[in-house]
């Protein structure tokens, strides 16, 4: 074969190869519309501040050239023209050189998972484009961009920062029932000589009894006090005979009651009957006050006190006890002089309650004379106003006087948090923690602080530590932000709030979300109307969605702009009533 013929054959083969290569890319380009792409989810969805999606592609027979390399790059394009290219994927024909997923000439498929990327607000109105470039040796061919998804659903952004702080609760009660009023009981004691039951005049003028009588004289007619009865407990020391001691204790109870009754009867106001009849005296007697004797010995400094206490432990019979103690002749003389006289007594208690101040009185005094209030009253005063500035003033006064009570600092921190004074609130909660370690309220409130500082993990730990209904609710808000919608529904509990409805909607239960919204105290708010519009849109009720959206816009015009980019309303964008509302 001559050289000219060889050259001709070489040129022909090369041309054929070039044409074959070009023809392979050309066929792929012509058949690119036959590639079946699907993206999930569609639209995209923000979950926990991030977005991720999957792309599936199916290539039919004879579509993917055997020596071709196809590079596909998903690109997120927002309405303003901004772009975010994601990681590309490389596909190779069955005879192509290079790395990548092989696609047989007889047909194959691709399953692509994008990386997780941070959500940006512009992604609400965006599209996913697939941009593909096919290559064979030095030749390449760009395919037409393919749009797979329009918009990113970011409904979780509607979550409200309505974390629930926890106040240190006051025990003040002016509504009646158990705990209503302040215990104002007063007591005195009357002491007797051995084997006697008559009340000596000196006993009625002792300092203790004088204070008792002064209280009665001053407050018997005072409408702020309620008198409930008089208790008289009379005792005999254990040094006499048991039978005689029993009668002696009864006689002492009678004499003490009579002596006190005479004091009440000095009040000649016939409208005041308290304390003037024996029926108002409740009497109890102890014929031998061994318990009092034991307590007195435990507190004494007598040399033989341990020996006497051992006698009490060894013998239960009263006569045997007396015998053994009297055998300690020197010790018994000291007992008779220092211990036994204090056991021959009557204890009188006037059972009284100081009626609680009214709400109006507590509120007025909290601002004008806070030092006149008890810690329970001033803490209660802080709950009687919704004005956060007034709350701060009240709790500052409370902390100034009762700073060792953790509740004052804690409640001040809550009020400062409501003023968005985060650093000052943090200091208040630290002071509260110093006086009330391991208090659930403090852990909960410090968790809210961590949220303010953007530390979700620390907040979650503090909420868990608190373990309260409020901290569970706050955990539910975290769950929404983290994309754990089922957990959010559980943790938000029985609260009928916007956030509970949002969690139900994001969990796929639009019906329950609607019911919760309608029962919520927030139902008339603009944000609640907007969420209700989203609920109706998901239920396919366009007319009610438009009505709710209109209500939201009338209350807050910012929702007009927000709704334009909201993919929740994508099916309504061709509805003239919807478009006219937003224009």
At residue 84, the pLDDT reads: 93
Indicate whether 138 and 235 sit together in one domain.
no
Indicate whether 477 and 362 sit together in one domain.
yes
**CB atoms < 10 A from the CB of 199, how many?**
20
How confident is the model over 425-476, as pLDDT tens digits? 999 999 999 999 889 999 999 999 999 999 999 999 999 999 999 999 999 9
Assess whether pLDDT exceeds 90 at residue 81: no
Indicate whether 148 and 272 sit together in one domain.
no
> Among the three residues 325, 354, 383, which one is the final residue of a domain in this structure?
354
Question: What is the pLDDT of the chain when averaged over all its residues?
Answer: 91
> Among the three residues 456, 482, 508, which one is the final residue of a domain in this structure?
482
pLDDT-based confidence at 5, cuts 50/70/90? Answer: very low
At residue 35, the pLDDT reads: 94
Indicate whether 444 and 465 sit together in one domain.
yes
For residue 127, say if its preceding peptide bond is cis, omega within 30 degrees of 0: no
Q: What is the share, in percent, of the chain residues with pLDDT greater than 90? A: 77
Indicate whether 294 and 308 sit together in one domain.
yes
Query: Is 294 within the bounds of a domain?
Result: yes
Query: Is 491 within the bounds of a domain?
Result: no
Query: Is 102 within the bounds of a domain?
Result: yes
CATH number at residue 331: 3.30.1330.60
Range list of H helices, 200-341: 207-219, 242-264, 290-299, 305-314, 318-326, 329-338
Indicate whether 226 and 340 sit together in one domain.
yes
Query: Is 375 within the bounds of a domain?
Result: yes
Indicate whether 362 and 473 sit together in one domain.
yes
Give the domain extent around 321. 182-354
At residue 21, the pLDDT reads: 43
CA distance 529 to 527: 5
CATH number at residue 134: 2.60.40.10
**CB atoms < 10 A from the CB of 501, how many?**
30
CA distances from 545 to 159, 171, 472, 525 (A): 19, 47, 32, 16
Indicate whether 119 and 207 sit together in one domain.
no
How confident is the model over 374-428, as pLDDT tens digits? 999 999 999 999 999 999 999 999 999 999 999 999 999 999 999 999 999 999 9
Q: Is 186 helix (H, G, I), strand (E, B) or coil?
A: strand
> Among the three residues 425, 450, 482, which one is the final residue of a domain in this structure?
482
Indicate whether 453 and 328 sit together in one domain.
no
Indicate whether 346 and 366 sit together in one domain.
no
How confident is the model over 207-244, as pLDDT tens digits? 999 999 999 888 888 888 889 899 999 999 998 788 89
Average pLDDT over residues 492-504: 97
CA distances from 493 to 67, 71, 188, 302, 440 (A): 60, 49, 53, 63, 18
User: Count of domains in the chain?
Assistant: 3
Please, what is the angle between helix 329-338 and helix 305-314, to 10°? 100
Indicate whether 73 and 139 sit together in one domain.
yes
Indicate whether 366 and 433 sit together in one domain.
yes
């Amino acid at each position: 074969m001559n050289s000219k013929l060889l050259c001709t054959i070489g040129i022909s083969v090369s041309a054929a190869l070039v044409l074959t290569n070009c023809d392979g890319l050309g066929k792929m380009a012509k058949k690119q519309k036959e590639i079946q792409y699907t993206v999930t989810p569609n639209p995209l969805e923000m979950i926990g501040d991030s977005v991720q999606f999957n792309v599936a592609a199916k290539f039919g027979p004879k579509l993917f050239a055997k020596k071709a390399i196809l590079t596909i790059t998903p690109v997120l394009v927002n309405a303003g023209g901004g772009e975010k290219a994601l990681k590309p994927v490389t596909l190779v024909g069955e005879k192509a050189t290079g790395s990548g997923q092989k696609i047989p000439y007889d047909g194959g498929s691709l399953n692509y998972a994008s990386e997780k990327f941070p959500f940006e607000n512009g992604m609400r109105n965006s599209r996913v484009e697939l941009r593909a470039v096919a290559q064979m040796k030095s030749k390449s061919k760009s395919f037409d961009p393919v749009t797979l998804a329009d918009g990113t659903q970011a409904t979780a952004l509607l979550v409200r920062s309505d974390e629930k702080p926890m106040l240190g609760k006051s025990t003040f009660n002016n509504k009646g029932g158990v705990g209503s009023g302040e215990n104002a009981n007063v007591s005195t004691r009357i002491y007797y000589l051995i084997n006697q039951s008559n009340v000596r005049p000196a006993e009625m003028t002792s300092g203790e009894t004088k204070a008792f009588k002064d209280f009665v004289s001053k407050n018997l007619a005072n409408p702020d006090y309620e008198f409930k009865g008089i208790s008289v407990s009379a005792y005999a020391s254990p040094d006499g005979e048991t039978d005689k001691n029993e009668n002696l204790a009864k006689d002492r109870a009678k004499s003490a009651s009579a002596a006190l009754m005479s004091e009440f009867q000095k009040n000649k106001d016939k409208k005041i009957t308290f304390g003037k009849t024996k029926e108002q005296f409740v009497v109890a007697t102890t014929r031998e006050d061994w318990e009092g004797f034991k307590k007195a010995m435990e507190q004494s400094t007598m040399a033989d006190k341990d020996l006497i206490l051992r006698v009490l432990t060894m013998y239960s019979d009263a006569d045997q006890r007396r015998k053994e103690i009297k055998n300690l002749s020197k010790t018994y003389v000291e007992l008779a002089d220092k211990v036994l006289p204090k056991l021959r007594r009557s204890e009188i208690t006037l059972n009284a309650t100081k009626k609680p101040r009214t709400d109006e009185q507590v509120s007025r005094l909290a601002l004008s004379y806070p030092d006149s209030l008890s810690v329970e009253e001033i803490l209660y005063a802080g709950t009687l106003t919704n004005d956060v500035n007034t709350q701060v003033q009240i709790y500052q006064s409370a902390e100034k006087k009762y700073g060792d009570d953790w509740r004052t600092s804690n409640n001040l921190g809550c009020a400062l948090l409501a003023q968005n004074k985060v650093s000052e609130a943090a200091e208040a909660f630290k002071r509260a923690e110093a006086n009330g370690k391991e208090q659930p309220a403090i852990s909960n409130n410090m968790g809210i602080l961590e949220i303010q500082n953007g530390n979700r993990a620390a907040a979650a730990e503090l909420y868990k530590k608190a373990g309260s209904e409020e901290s569970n609710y706050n955990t539910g808000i975290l769950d929404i932000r983290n994309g754990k919608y089922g957990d959010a529904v559980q943790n938000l509990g029985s609260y009928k709030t916007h956030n509970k409805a949002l969690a139900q909607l994001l969990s796929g239960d639009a019906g329950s979300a609607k019911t919760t919204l309608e029962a919520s105290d927030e139902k008339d708010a603009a944000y609640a109307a907007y969420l209700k519009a989203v609920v109706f849109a998901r239920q396919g009720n366009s007319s009610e969605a438009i009505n709710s959206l209109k209500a939201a816009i009338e209350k807050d015009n910012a929702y007009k702009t927000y709704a334009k980019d909201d993919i929740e309303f994508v099916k309504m964008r061709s509805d003239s009533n919807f478009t006219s509302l937003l224009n």
